[in-house]
Amino acid sequence: MVDVEEVDAEVLPNGKLYTAIYKGDWRKATTKLWGKKVEKVDTTKEGGYAFEGDWLNTDYEGRYQIELAEGEMAVCLKQTGSWRHKGQHMYIFFVKNGKMFNVALPYNSRADKVKAVHTASEILEEIRGKNSKEQQARALIQKAIELVGVEGVLRLLE
């Protein structure tokens, strides 16, 4: 299992939790950073392509603003180390039981990237629970009703 740390997050008026992750120091080659609010994880893909969702916004200082509600998750990739000893870490932020948590994973080798993607997928399933399958099914049924109508859906089910 991975080490999970609680994040000291600010509670916003809309009820979401807020934190920011800072870019590194350009003098130490640690300014590479990207982040996404994750809606879905595709474990058949590798690296950042596995994460489906919107890109996180940056503020005037170049920090990624992470604003999450209950059951939501964001991932950030941050370069660490120095010019000679570069490294990367993936930070997975998620909200569970009204608190924000963070998991930091190495992201250097192909094996590290695969492990990070699978860990993110497991965390997303855990925080969304069984209800996420029902929500997906409900969304698909609503889409089918929009396309062919209620009678068309009932004919398809016969």
Whether residue 26 is contained in a domain is answered as yes
More confident: 71 or 130: 71
Domain span at residue 87 reads 4-128
Is 118 a member of any domain?
Answer: yes
24 occurs within a structural domain: yes
Number of structural domains (the chain) is: 1
Q: Domain for residue 134, yes or no?
A: no
Given a cut of 70, whether residue 29 has pLDDT beyond it is no
Q: Confirm whether 105 is domain-assigned.
A: yes
Say if 149 falls within a structural domain. Answer: no
Residue type at position 91: Y
Task: Report d(CA 70, CA 97) in Å as an integer.
Answer: 7
- What's the confidence (pLDDT) of residue 51? 92
pLDDT at 137 over 80: no
Q: Angle at CA 90, nearest 5°, toward 131 and 43? A: 50
Buried b (16+ CB within 10 A) or exposed e, 93-119: bbbbeeebbbbbbebeeeebbebbbeb
Please give the model's pTM, rounded to 2 decimal places: 0.74
Which of 29-33, 40-44, 101-105, 135-139 has the lowest average pLDDT? Answer: 29-33
What is the per-residue pLDDT for 131? 56
Q: What is the pLDDT of residues 49-73, one digit of tens each?
A: 899 999 888 777 777 888 998 889 9
